[in-house]
Structures are given as C-alpha cells and as structure tokens.
Amino acid sequence: MLARNLSIKVHFLQSHLAEFPKNIGAVSDEQGERFHQDMNVMQECHQVQFLWFWIKMRVSFTIKIKRDREKLMSYLNSDAES
C-alpha cells in the first residue's frame, strides 16, 4: 500500500514538473545577498531577545534567592530568641 501511494505521489510530481518554468530555482546574486542580510538581521534580533530573556530570568532568580535567604534568617532569628 505504501509503495502504491509513493508511486502515485511520484507520478503526480512528475506530471506537474512541466508546469514550472526552467529557471524556477535561479536566484540572482543580489537576491542571495539580500536574503543573507535579512537572515543576519533576524539572527541578531533573536540574540538580543534571548539576552534580555536571560537577564530577566537571572534577576528574577537572584531576587528569589535573596527573599528566601531573608525569610530563612528571620525564621532562624525568631527561633533563637524563643
């Protein structure tokens, strides 16, 4: 069954290849350069977003540790006074 479905897909693809122009994959140097520039901009944007995410997580974690330490010290001081 799988072989028959695959052969149907291959036949469908082959029958439609004639519909595409011969230069469908051709890309000019200018288009290629523009694509790479766009990819670099997107990559830089995501790196900045990740950096901000990491900073916020680090600050949040540090604040939580500080609060937990203060609670623990308060608990230990109140326990020592009793």
Domain boundaries, the chain: 44-82
Q: Please tell me the predicted confidence (pLDDT) of residue 48.
A: 86
**Confidence bin at 46 (pLDDT 50/70/90):** confident
Distance between CA atoms of residues 9 and 4, nearest Å: 9
Distance between CA atoms of residues 32 and 43, nearest Å: 16
As a dihedral over the C-alpha atoms of residue 46, residue 50, residue 53, residue 57, rounded to 10 degrees, the angle is: 170
Distance between CA atoms of residues 57 and 51, nearest Å: 10
Distance between CA atoms of residues 46 and 68, nearest Å: 33
Q: Which of 14-23, 24-33, 37-46, 56-65 has the highest mean pLDDT?
A: 56-65
82 against 44, higher pLDDT: 44
